[in-house]
Amino acid sequence: MMSIKKCLLAVVVVNLCAYSFGCANHVKVDTIVEANVVRTKLSHTIDIETNTGSLVTSPVINASVQENKAFKVATYELKTDYDVVTPYQGARELYEFPVGVAALPVAVVVNMTDFLLFGLVPNKFTDSLLDWSFAGVNPFLNIESEERTERTVLKSDKKLLDEKEEHIKKPLFNQEIIVVAGDDDRMKITLDQNGKAEISLIKLSSVSNNIDRIKILAQAEDVFGEKEIDVSRQLRNQLEQASVITKKYTTLVFNEANPQDVEKVDLTVLSRDLMSLSKLGFEADSLRIEKKAMSLMSETKKKTFKAEIDKALAPDAPAVTLTTEKTADSN
């Protein structure tokens, strides 16, 4: 009876020691080689180009906005050695130890048989069976298990393979740019898919009384681009006269009008104003306002409007000065 108690006590002591001093079962050293690309931004700028140079002489500016980025691209080879182990769990010894005791004689017999057969049994099988059995009978070591392995880094080496500069230039598409004139009068324009936009100085003259000099602003992320352009004296004079007309039809100029706005318009005055715009050299803007107004009119009013335009185009049509129109508007 005492011997049984001593045996049980010995088993308990052994397991307690195993819990305290057990160690992980080394499986293998795994080496992983991978490429690592590091991109470092060197510069980020925005270029604004126009078809006008530094002086505007036409009522429409074609602007193109591009975003430029420069990167330093370094390619590294990263070689890392990992120690792959099966972590120790003391509770597993409750069944691994008996299994190891039972498997050890089998492993010995298999290896002896392999020896007698001059190594006909694959070494992978005989060696792994013997290792597995010894790990089982070792209370300080769990049996190797691929399912619950852990990896720890032994060492890591980083080697530079290639280094170069990369330049990326692309249009700043679908973004808003700001056109500034006069006393910080602003007009927003959206760029198309190619990063291009038309800036109508007629529209700008509707929101600003001073367009001696205009500024184009663009932004991408935290980077700003800017371009300043002077407006020629002749064009400034034409725009000043045209603004007297366009400011009366702001909603039509900016395509924000509705049928109710058109109902309030004097068609005779509108037709003569459109002819005046054409004579000042703003034929495209005159036609655009005309089409917008026509799209909002009833069929009856369209006929009336066309008749008024025909009268304004007639050789004997009375000339109406912009000064007269301005005075009439102010009264």
pLDDT in tens, the chain (331 residues): 445 555 445 555 555 554 455 566 666 778 999 999 999 999 999 999 999 888 998 889 999 999 999 999 999 999 999 888 878 776 777 776 777 777 777 777 777 776 777 677 676 666 666 676 767 677 776 777 777 777 888 899 999 999 999 999 999 999 999 999 977 889 999 999 999 999 989 888 888 888 889 999 999 988 999 999 999 999 999 988 888 888 888 787 777 778 888 888 888 888 898 998 888 888 888 888 888 888 888 888 888 888 888 888 776 555 555 443 433 343 3
From CA 189, how far away is CA 181, in angstroms rounded? 14
Q: What is the span of the domain harbouring residue 298?
A: 233-331
| CA separation, residue 208 to residues 100, 199, 211, 235, 320 (Å) | 93, 14, 7, 15, 24
Asked whether residue 308 is assigned to any structural domain, the reply reads: yes
Q: Specify which residues 199 forms β-bridges with.
A: 61
Which tokens in the block code for residue 222? 């935290």
From CA 252, how far away is CA 268, in angstroms rounded? 16
From CA 132, how far away is CA 27, in angstroms rounded? 11
Number of domains in the chain: 1
Asked whether residue 255 is assigned to any structural domain, the reply reads: yes
Asked whether residue 320 is assigned to any structural domain, the reply reads: yes
Asked whether residue 78 is assigned to any structural domain, the reply reads: no
- Evaluate whether 97 touches 140 at the Cβ level (below 8 Å): no
- DSSP E strand boundaries for 105-207: 150-171, 176-181, 185-190, 196-200
Spatial CA neighbour of 43 closest among 72, 74, 73, 75 = 72
In one-letter notation, the amino acid at residue 37 is V
Asked whether residue 7 is assigned to any structural domain, the reply reads: no
From CA 47, how far away is CA 257, in angstroms rounded? 34
From CA 231, how far away is CA 239, in angstroms rounded? 10
From CA 158, how far away is CA 78, in angstroms rounded? 5
In one-letter notation, the amino acid at residue 68 is N
Residue 312: count other Cβ atoms within 10 Å of its Cβ. 19
Residue 141 per-residue DSSP state: B
Asked whether residue 322 is assigned to any structural domain, the reply reads: yes
Angle at 259 between CA 254 and CA 261, to 5 degrees: 60
Asked whether residue 290 is assigned to any structural domain, the reply reads: yes
